[in-house]
A and B are shown apart, each in its own frame.
Chain A
Amino acid sequence: MNPVNYLYLAALLFTIGATGVLIRRNAIVVFMCIELMLNACNLAFVTFSRMHGNLDGQIIAFFTMVVAAAEVVVGLAIIVSLFRSRHSASVDDASLMKL
């Protein structure tokens, strides 16, 4: 098997995640789809690291994980405070700025 297949899998997962972000309304599920996209990127990084035979790709994937962890913490805090103020996690309901 050609290891390029891992890249195709990563592209597929990224596409599924992106489609989910566009389709879903629940803020939590949208967030999960973003996590899926980040994971797909990590898979691509790890595969590239193996292809080029150095560990830099793995380092980048490691940093992506750290940033994703920080992002999840802040994002979920935002969702919780949004839910407290409007009793809904739907992204359509947050339309306070609309005329």
Chain B
Amino acid sequence: MTAQLAAHSTSLAAYSTSTGEAFQFWVLGTVAVIGALCTVFMKKSVHSALCLAGTMIILAVFYLANGAYFLGIVQVVVYTGAIMMLFLFVVMLVGVTAADSLTETIKGQRWLALLCGLGFGILLCAGIGNASLNEFNGLAQANAGGNVEGLATLIFTKYVFAFEITGALLITAAVGAMVLTHRERTERAKTQREMAEERVRKNVQLPPLPAPGVYARHNAVDIPGLLPDGTPSELTVIKTLRDRGQIRDVSDEALKDLKALEQRSGERLGRGDRAEEAAK
């Protein structure tokens, strides 16, 4: 009896998914589409990368829901774990601040691209709608001996040649990446002696650069030192901070403090005057 019921329920499940899965699909599917749209339309590449990572995690959940347990885990480990972190590394390397240029080099390209995308999407959806997809077996039978075992059996029997080729591909990719990013030094590095001699010959800045914060009220690295006449010297701040515009100028802070003090005491005295007048 119970076996009959179980068979009945599996045959039912074969044609349609459970309500829970439907709920999960509609909620997470919406989030996945929003994440994908954010990947395309976010201005900064870091935000794009994070949105894409979110979409990939949701896809991993969908794989698990579809009975692909091994692929779901691999999706999290390989895609969101390794590939997206690689993306983030390169985004950091190439510069987070490098925003995308929004000027169109080809006139009307953006609208044409959107139109093409829309047409393509309609075409794809129409194709899926017209295809006869009545067959729905479910993975219960295929996953009977375990999903990982089933995949392993297939990989090492039917697809063993493709698997070997994949290994060769991975090694080639690793070597290729190393060749591409490796920089051969074309000239000998200068010794300290040569650099010192060059500096004397140029005679632009013979002694070491002045330290930041000298004669200023603070001596943090982002605060320029003051020249004898009280003006800040940009030379004292390191080039990275100068390029980023992260110099903190506090040379007129003392004057501001004095002004604030005067104002406060003035207010207090004024209030005192008024109190005296009230007393009179």
Residues of A within 8 A of B (CB): 1-9, 11-20, 22-26, 28-29, 31-33, 35-36, 39, 42-43, 46-47, 49-56, 58-59, 61-63, 65-74, 76-81, 83-84, 88-90, 92
- A32 to B59: give the CA distance in the assembly, Å: 15
| B residues near A43, Cβ cutoff 8 Å | 59, 62-63
Give A2 Cβ to nearest chain B Cβ, in Å: 6
Count how many chain B residues have C-beta atoms less than 8 Å from C-beta atoms of the other chain: 83
- A33 to B83: give the CA distance in the assembly, Å: 13
Interface check B11, CB cutoff 8 A: no
| B residues near A55, Cβ cutoff 8 Å | 139, 142-143, 147, 150-151, 154
Contact with A along B48-79 (1 / 0, CB 8 A): 11001001100100110011101100110011
| A residues near B39, Cβ cutoff 8 Å | 16, 20, 29, 32-33, 36
Q: Are B137 and A51 in contact (CB under 8 A)?
A: yes
Q: Are A74 and B110 in contact (CB under 8 A)?
A: no
Going nearest first, the 5 A-B pairs with the smallest beta carbon separation are A53-B137, A19-B117, A1-B22, A22-B113, A70-B173
Q: Are A90 and B101 also in contact (CB < 8 A) when A43-B59, A50-B67, A51-B137 are?
A: yes
Give B172 Cβ to nearest chain A Cβ, in Å: 8
- A40 to B235: give the CA distance in the assembly, Å: 53
What number of residue pairs across chains A and B have CB atoms under 8 A from each other? 235
Q: Are A69 and B170 also in contact (CB < 8 A) when A15-B124, A16-B37, A76-B86 are?
A: yes
- A3 to B133: give the CA distance in the assembly, Å: 10
Q: Are A16 and B135 in contact (CB under 8 A)?
A: no
Given A11-B121, A73-B177; 16 other pairs, CB 8 A cutoff = A5-B29, A9-B25, A12-B33, A13-B32, A15-B121, A19-B116, A22-B113, A29-B100, A35-B52, A39-B56, A42-B71, A50-B139, A55-B139, A63-B166, A72-B87, A81-B181
| Of B89-97, B186-194, B225-233, the one touching chain A | B89-97
Contact with A along B37-49 (1 / 0, CB 8 A): 1011000010011
Residues of B within 8 A of A (CB): 16-17, 19, 21-22, 25, 29, 32-33, 36-37, 39-40, 45, 48-49, 52, 55-56, 59, 62-63, 66-68, 70-71, 74-75, 78-79, 82-83, 86-87, 90-91, 93-95, 98, 100-101, 105, 109-110, 113-114, 116-118, 120-121, 124-125, 128, 133, 135-139, 141-143, 147, 150-151, 154-155, 159, 162, 166, 169-170, 172-174, 176-177, 180-181, 183
Q: Of B17, B37, B62, which contacts A1 at CB under 8 A?
A: B17
| A residues near B143, Cβ cutoff 8 Å | 55
Q: Are B151 and A14 in contact (CB under 8 A)?
A: no
Q: Are A18 and B71 in contact (CB under 8 A)?
A: no
- A5 to B33: give the CA distance in the assembly, Å: 13
Interface centre among A28, A80, A88 (most CB of B within 10 A): A28
Give A47 Cβ to nearest chain B Cβ, in Å: 6
Q: Are B40 and A74 in contact (CB under 8 A)?
A: no
- A29 to B38: give the CA distance in the assembly, Å: 11
Report 20 cross-chain contacts, Cβ distance below 8 Å, ordered by A residue. A1-B19, A6-B62, A9-B62, A12-B125, A13-B55, A23-B110, A28-B48, A39-B56, A42-B63, A42-B75, A51-B135, A55-B142, A66-B169, A69-B82, A70-B173, A74-B173, A74-B176, A80-B90, A80-B180, A84-B183
Q: Are A53 and B32 in contact (CB under 8 A)?
A: no
Q: Of A1, A14, A18, A72, which contacts B21 at CB under 8 A?
A: A1
Q: Are A53 and B139 in contact (CB under 8 A)?
A: yes
| B residues near A17, Cβ cutoff 8 Å | 36, 40
